Structure formats: structure tokens, C-alpha cells
Amino acid sequence: MAVLSSLPVVVPFMLAPLLVAVGAYAPRWSEDALAMVGAVAVLVICLLLAVHAGARPFVYWMGGWRPERGVAIGIAFAIDPLGAGMAAFAAVMVLAALTYSLRYFDAVGGLFHGLMLLFLAGMAGFCLTGDLFDLVVFFELMSAVAYALTAYRIEERAPIQGAINFAVTNSIGGYAMFIAVAMLYARTGQLNMAQIGAALDGHRADPLVIVSMVLLLLGFLTKAAAVPLHFWLADAHAVAPVPVCVLFSGVMVELGIYAVARIYWVIFAGPLAGHAEALRAILVALGVTTALLGAVMCVLQRHIKRLLAFSTISHVGVFVCGVGLLGSKALAGVAAFVVGHGLTKAALFMLCGVLLHRFRTVDEYDLHGRGRELRVAGVLFAAGGLLLAAPPPFTEFQGKSLLESASSGAGFGWLTAVFAVVSALTAGAVLRVGGRVFLGWGPSEGPDPQQARPAHERVDETRDERDHTPPLMLIVPGILLTATIVLGLVPGAIPWLSGAAARFTDHRAYAAWVLHGRTVAWPRVAPSHVSAGDVIIGLLTVAAAVAVAGAGLFGRPAVARLPQGIRVGGGGAVRRLRRLHSGHIGDYIAWWTTGAGVLGGACLLALR
């Protein structure tokens, strides 16, 4: 089984250049077929790996360079169920995006397909590797491909600017990580993550260890778009083609969260064991800030892709809180939530693509009432909006209830309220868009001079005539939404994730099976029960989301009756908040530097 481990990276690596080389001469269907074969192969292999690792995690040493007496020289893929599962999830997303683009995207010359496969190779390697330097290299690989995919429609203005902002911000995050790798190598003489962790065990966390952790966190949280490192995300999502947005929001951003969890438990859990409380407080504070700011910005948007992007930022905040609780139950909750959120968000982006295809705009007010004839798309959009509110008993709710029980267990019970506010605001914003576009509810409004430009897509993103929607563009999001509903209800799915998370968070066991090949018993996880309180909170959240949507559609007269002081003050705050998202790369990096200083300062002060 271990010998299959490298294939999720190797197969797309072999197919991608082939696609680019023959793409210019081969018919479109052959490119589609080849790319989808690659994605299916990766999916099947990753599922096999996940199932086998579920019974017993294993390591693949490249070239047979096995560790001697517990000292690793070679480069390893360390396959544990959560990592392999995440790689499989990435393959599902790529497969969905490729299927959707069959009818959607006028891709020529095999470039798009080749890039999608390289993206998949980067993500799969990122999930499977057990080597810190490789983790950074795969990070850079998927980033470089992502920049190119963002600027795929290079003839237009907005994608160029979006890709530049994305590339500069993420490159700086990458440099921070290179320095962190060098520092940890200087301290331990190792690049294997388990080996670094073992070398740091039993030592106290000195400034070098803390600074290297901060630098790694900065890189991964830039990818995950935590505030204030998040500015690139909304720009990139607003301009990237819809199938690419599906991957960005559905899985790439979440991989940043995955890596934060990975490096904490494998490398830093030992030296920071005495400081878990302080680190928890720092990460939860970061998560809550991200969640609330993302949710507020989400409600303020009228460009639908940007709105969905800020909703992703908001959910990232929830995930950062979850990982930041530093417990296996919370991590299991995050994993379930990531799957549910990814599927739902992917479907919503695809439905956004339907609107783009038919009307060439994704501006909420331009589309006022124009979606009335698109009944199926409207129903799916509403379903997606409701699912985003995490209604019981579906996948997102399962994840959220695990998270809530973990946070009250860790003394952060008030996080439940934050999660509810986030779900209600982001889902409410999506439902508001649905009501306005597909039902024609609420007053109409003229074009917004600031935002109208990027919302109009002048160059055709889609092929085919525009008087009907290709069925495939509705079938794929339909399947994804169904999967969101069904997956969390599959018996054994949540206990499997809980077990995988328990294994993931076992610092000593990870070192034992990676470095010494020892079998580790599958940890026993107490089954978690969804309480009646969770269900009631879940239902109230859905109701609140509907209320938020209603307020967005019909609330203007009520706002007009508010005292003038509140209106002016609120309007001013909103304007200032929006002005921060200026599209100017210098501003973004200034915020990045501030964030780095705050995070670094907080960690150095609190973790000593």
C-alpha cells in the first residue's frame, strides 16, 4: 500500500505536461477526458490510502531511505487518515470543477486542464508529506499554479490586479516559512517533521522556537486568509474563473488551516505543552476577529463572488477558532465543517457561474428579478444559503455541534454565540441575494459606481449560447449540495473523523509510527451526542439567517427611521472598513506586516 503513496502527486505531474504539450492539437474532449482520468485516479488512490491509514497509518520513504535507529535522512510521505482524507477531498473538488467546466469554460490548448492537475498535485502532496521543507515546497507549488489560474483571463483588467495582489501577498508568506524552516533546521539538524518534533521534545520553548512557529503560522494563515492577512482572498475570488473559485474556497484556503494543525501537533506540541492556554487564547482571538470581520464584510457586498469570498473568510475564522482550541474533538468538528462548507460553497460559486453565463454580471442589483425564470438554479441557491447556516442535522451542523461542545469543554462556551452570528450573517447574505435575484424581492437600485466595474465580465467566460443553461451546470452543484446533506448523516462518518482527529493530535504516537514504524492502537474516542440544545441553537441560527436576509431586502425603511447619529456613525464605520480593502498591494502588505508584528509580539510575550 505504501508504494501507492507518491502516486497522487506523480500521476497529475505526468499528465499535466502531456496535456499542455498535445493540448494545442488534440480535440477538447480528449483534454477533458485525460484531466478527469487524472483526478479520478488521485481520488481513488487517496481514498485507498485513507482507508488503509485508518486501520494503521504508514510511511513511504522515497528511494527506500528509511530511518536508522530513529534518525530520518530520507524524505517521507506520512499517511494518516485525516491527511489522506483531505487529499481525497481536494481530488473531489478538482473533479467537480473539471466536470462543471465541461460545459462552462472555453479552455483552449490544454493549459487550463494542465494547471488544474498541477494544482491537484500540489494540494495532494501538501496533505501527504511528512517533511517540513516539502510542506513549504508544495505550498509554493500550489500557490504558483493558483496565481496563474487567477489570471487565466489575462485580457481583462481585474484578473491582472487580483493575481498580482494574490502572488505578492502569498510569496511573502512563503518567504517567512523558508526562514522558519532554516531556523528549525539550525536548531535540530532535521527536516522531517516528526524528527523535528522529537528533537524539540523536553526542551522549553525558547524565542527561536517561538519565532519559527510564528513565521510558519504567518505563511499558512496568509493562505488561509486570517485577518489581517486576508486582503488577497476577496480580490482573487472576485476575478478568478468560477471553476477556480470552487477550488480556492472549497479546499485551498482550508489547507492553510490543515497545515496549522499539522505543524502544531507534530512539531510544537512538545515544547509548547505548558503554554497551551496562552496559544489557545491567541488563536481564538485571531479566529474570532476573522470570523466577525468576514461576516460583516460579507453582508456589505453586492458583487456576489466577493460576497461568497468574504463568507469564506468568515468561516476560516471559525476554523481557526476550532484548530486554536487545540483539542482532538474540536479538530474533528473543524474537519466535518470544512467538508460541509467546501461542498456548499463550491455549489454556490457554480450557481454564481450560471448567473454569469446567462446575464454576464454577478452584481446583485443588476440581477434584480432577472433570475425568475431560472427556477432550478434559484431552488439550489436557496438550499445552498440555508445549508450555509448549518441547519440540523446535516454535515455542517454535525461539525459545528462538535466544535461547540469542544469549546464549552475548553472554557470558551461563548464561542457558540460567535459561530451562530457568523452562520446567520453569511447565510443571511446569500439568502438575501437569492431573494433579490431569483424572486425579485426588495427594492431595486442603480449601479454602484465603485463596484459595478468588476462585476461586469466583458469577455466571455462561458461558451454556448446564453438563452438556456446547460443542465450539467445545475447537476454538479445539485450533487454537491446533496453530498452536504447526506455525508454527515452516513452512519460512522463522524466517529471515523473523530478517530482520525484523535490520531492526528497524538504528538507522541505520530513520532512513534513515523520514525520507528511502531503500530499505534486506534485511539478510543467517546461517541459524541448531539444535544437538544445544539439542535435548538441550530434552528434559531437558520431563523436568524432568514431574518438577516429579510432585513437586507426590506429593512431600508426601518434604517431610515433610525436616529441620524446612529446612521451617520454606522455609515462612516462601514465606509472606513470598506476603504481598507483598497486593492492597493502596498496597503495589503502594510496590514500583513502589522499582523505579523501583532501575532509575533503576542506569541513572544505570552508563550514564555
Partner 1 sequence: MSFAPYAAAAWLFVVGLYGVIASSNLVRTVLSLTVVQSATYLVLLGVGYRHGGKAPIVADIPKSSRLVDPVTQVLVLTDVVIEATVLALLLALIVQAQKRFGSIDPARLRALRD
Of 81-89, 173-181, 386-394, 434-442, the segment contacting partner 1 by CB under 8 A is 173-181
398 touches partner 1 (CB under 8 A): no
Of 407-415, 448-456, 465-473, 490-498, the segment contacting partner 1 by CB under 8 A is 448-456
C-alpha grid cell, residue 107: 479552455
Phi, psi angle pair for 60, to nearest 5°: -115, 115
Q: Tell me if 293 sits within 8 A of 227, measured CB to CB.
A: yes
C-alpha grid cell, residue 410: 475548553
The least CB distance from residue 233 to partner 1, in Å, is 12
User: 235 or 396: whose CB is closer to partner 1?
Assistant: 235
183 touches partner 1 (CB under 8 A): yes
Query: For partner 1, what does the binding mask look like between residues 24 and 63, x meaning CB under 8 A?
Result: ----------------------------------------
| Among candidate residues 518, 515, 598, 573, the one with its CA nearest the CA of residue 71 | 515
Q: How far apart are CA 357 and CA 465, in angstroms?
A: 9
Site residues for partner 1, 207-236, by CB under 8 A, read 234-235
Q: Tell me if 153 sits within 8 A of 106, measured CB to CB.
A: no
Q: How far apart are CA 563 and CA 548, in angstroms?
A: 21
Q: What is the DSSP letter of 155?
A: T
240 touches partner 1 (CB under 8 A): no
Q: Tell me if 183 sits within 8 A of 156, measured CB to CB.
A: no
Of 159-167, 268-276, 320-328, 352-360, the segment contacting partner 1 by CB under 8 A is 159-167
Site residues for partner 1, 548-587, by CB under 8 A, read 578-587
User: 556 or 584: whose CB is closer to partner 1?
Assistant: 584
158 touches partner 1 (CB under 8 A): yes
The least CB distance from residue 591 to partner 1, in Å, is 9
171 touches partner 1 (CB under 8 A): yes
The least CB distance from residue 238 to partner 1, in Å, is 7
129 beta partners: 77
Q: Tell me if 434 sits within 8 A of 557, measured CB to CB.
A: no
Q: Using CB under 8 A, which of 42, 205, 239, 380 touches partner 1? A: 239
Q: Using CB under 8 A, which of 40, 160, 379, 475 touches partner 1? A: 160
Site residues for partner 1, 257-316, by CB under 8 A, read 297, 301, 306
The least CB distance from residue 10 to partner 1, in Å, is 18
Q: How far apart are CA 344 and CA 383, in angstroms?
A: 9
Convert 31-55 into a string of H (helix), E (strand) and C (coil): HHHHHHHHHHHHHHHHHHHHHHHHH
The least CB distance from residue 563 to partner 1, in Å, is 27
| Among candidate residues 386, 372, 370, 483, the one with its CA nearest the CA of residue 430 | 386
Q: How far apart are CA 31 and CA 165, in angstroms?
A: 30
Q: Tell me if 238 sits within 8 A of 313, measured CB to CB.
A: no
DSSP, collapsed to helix, strand or coil, labels residue 59 as strand
Non-local CB neighbours of 143 within 8 Å, separated by 6+ positions: 122, 167, 170, 171, 174, 223
452 touches partner 1 (CB under 8 A): no
Q: Using CB under 8 A, which of 76, 97, 127, 167 touches partner 1? A: 167
182 touches partner 1 (CB under 8 A): yes
Q: Using CB under 8 A, which of 378, 391, 454, 477 touches partner 1? A: 454
Q: How far apart are CA 98 and CA 289, in angstroms?
A: 34
Contact residues toward partner 1 (CB under 8 A) are 133, 137, 140-141, 143-144, 147-148, 151, 154-158, 160-165, 167-168, 171-172, 174-175, 178-179, 181-183, 185-186, 191, 234-235, 238-239, 297, 301, 306, 450-451, 453-454, 578-587, 589-590, 593
